[in-house]
Amino acid sequence: MGGPAAPEEDDAALPLTDDELQGIAVRATVARDTPPGSLPPDPRPRRDALEEAYDAVLRLVREVRRLRRRDDRAKGALRTALAEGDPAAMKRAIEDVLDDALCVRRG
């Protein structure tokens, strides 16, 4: 009944290949991480999901470049105001830098 397997059954068992073991591990992980009653995830990402992720990465790269250019302009304006010795220009440049920093943190 619930005892050990008969010796002839052990002899007939073949060892699993690495690919088969990996497949079992993946199926077990998906089964463990999928809540009951929900559908397991598609094993391959959908083309539209890949395109959406690619577009998101491009948007992030553009935003980083834009922020770096803005930072460079703000530093230049601050240096110019400091070199001129104009207190009003220095105040405006500092306010611009602070506004940019606050906008980045909020956004």
Condensed to tens digits (0 to 9), the pLDDT of residues 17-47 reads 888 888 888 888 877 877 777 776 666 667 7
Q: Residue 91 belongs to what domain range? A: 16-106
Q: Does residue 9 lie in a domain region? A: no
Nearest in space to 72 (alpha carbons), one of 100, 95, 92: 100
Mean pLDDT of 8-25: 74
Q: Does residue 86 lie in a domain region? A: yes
Per the CB < 8 A criterion, the answer to whether 53 and 82 are in contact is: no
The total number of structural domains in the chain stands at 1
Q: Does residue 26 lie in a domain region? A: yes
Q: Does residue 7 lie in a domain region? A: no
Q: Does residue 10 lie in a domain region? A: no
Rounded CA separation 105/85 (Å):
30
Q: Does residue 99 lie in a domain region? A: yes
Mean pLDDT of 57-70: 89
Q: Does residue 5 lie in a domain region? A: no
Q: Is the pLDDT of residue 59 over 90?
A: yes
pTM of the model: 0.44
pLDDT in tens, 86-101: 888 888 888 887 876 6
